[in-house]
């Protein structure tokens, strides 16, 4: 499905990020991924999947020059990137009244500005080659009335707006842009969900369970492939039916 394709995944050492890296490799892609504070997990993922097809790059997504440098390294070491997955993100469980300005800024910097900077660095090559696919990771927190941190919900809502506008602009270059919107998952940022909210979610979920990172990863791989060539500017929910 992704043979002879090259992908870059931000936040590749987290639960969802690592699952996405594994899925892309399984479907035939060469994959670079970023990591910020877990170099040992990055090396483990490389060893697991084969360093000739997978490479981790240290990167703080809010640093513009660093993103451009990694894009250049990827081009030299694994080949021109035609798949970008913006997965890196942070969350913080905190009531609105206690959110400070620095908390708000950190949430917007990583989840929104980081997505912007990384996309700008990697999409230039796609525009030149007139081929590519971008998949952004949103969250149901930004799409439904849920008891979630306000700054996190705001940032994840911005992911969808970014996706829709960018998809329209890049369509002329044959570059598709979609978003994947997961609901409650096992592991990852969902680990921070309080028991009360978790139980409430499961009561309203038609499938009656939390999702798995592997299930999200398979959707990402599909959207990145030519099998999804007629899917563009969509925010696709994978939430068990809420």
| pLDDT tens-digit readout, 130-184 | 999 999 999 999 998 888 899 999 999 999 999 999 999 999 999 999 999 999 9
pLDDT at 193: 77
pLDDT at 112: 98
Q: Which residue has the higher pLDDT, 136 or 192?
A: 136
In angstroms, the CA 26 to CA 41 distance is: 19
- What tokens does 174 get? 């044959």
| pLDDT tens-digit readout, 73-88 | 999 999 999 999 999 9
Nearest to 99 by CA among 158, 149, 35, 34: 149
Domains annotated for the chain, with CATH where assigned, are: 6-237 (3.40.50.720)
Kindly indicate the confidence band of residue 23, based on its pLDDT and cuts at 50, 70 and 90.
very high
% of residues, the chain, pLDDT over 90: 90
- The three state secondary structure string of 157-219 is HHHHHHHHHHHHHHHHHCEEEEEEEECCECCHHHHHCCHHHHHHHHHHCCCCCCECHHHHHHH
The single residue of 152, 173, 201, 230 carrying the catalytic annotation is 152
Report the chain's mean pLDDT, rounded to a whole number.
95
pLDDT at 24: 98
Kindly indicate the confidence band of residue 51, based on its pLDDT and cuts at 50, 70 and 90.
confident
Q: Which residue has the higher pLDDT, 100 or 52?
A: 100
Kindly indicate the confidence band of residue 16, based on its pLDDT and cuts at 50, 70 and 90.
very high
pLDDT at 195: 84
- The counts of H helices and E strands in the chain are 8, 7
Q: Do the Cβ atoms of 127 and 121 come closer than 8 Å? A: no
In angstroms, the CA 242 to CA 237 distance is: 10
pLDDT at 146: 85
Whether 152 is catalytic is yes
pLDDT at 194: 81
| pLDDT tens-digit readout, 202-224 | 999 999 999 999 999 999 999 99
Is pLDDT above 90 for 107? Answer: yes
pLDDT at 66: 98
């Amino acid at each position: 499905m992704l043979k002879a394709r090259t992908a870059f995944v931000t936040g590749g050492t987290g639960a969802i990020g690592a699952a996405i890296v594994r899925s892309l490799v399984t479907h035939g892609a060469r994959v670079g991924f970023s990591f910020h504070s877990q170099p040992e997990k990055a090396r483990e993922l490389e060893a697991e999947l084969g360093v000739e097809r997978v490479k981790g790059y240290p990167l703080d997504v809010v640093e513009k020059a660093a993103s451009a440098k990694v894009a250049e390294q990827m081009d030299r070491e694994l080949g021109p990137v035609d798949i970008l997955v913006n997965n890196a993100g942070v969350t913080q469980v905190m009531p609105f009244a206690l959110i400070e300005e620095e908390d708000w800024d950190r949430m917007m910097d990583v989840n929104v500005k980081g997505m912007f900077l990384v996309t700008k660095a990697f999409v230039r090559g796609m525009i030149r080659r007139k081929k590519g696919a971008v998949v952004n990771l949103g969250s149901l927190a930004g799409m439904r009335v849920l008891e979630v941190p306000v700054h996190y919900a705001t940032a994840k809502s911005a992911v969808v707006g970014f996706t829709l506008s960018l998809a329209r602009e890049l369509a002329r270059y044959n570059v598709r842009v979609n978003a994947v919107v997961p609901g409650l998952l096992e592991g990852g940022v969902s680990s921070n969900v309080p028991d009360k909210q978790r139980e409430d979610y499961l009561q309203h979920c038609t499938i009656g369970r939390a999702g798995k990172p592997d299930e999200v990863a398979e959707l990402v791989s599909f959207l990145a492939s030519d099998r999804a060539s007629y899917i563009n500017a969509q925010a696709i929910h994978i939430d068990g039916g809420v």
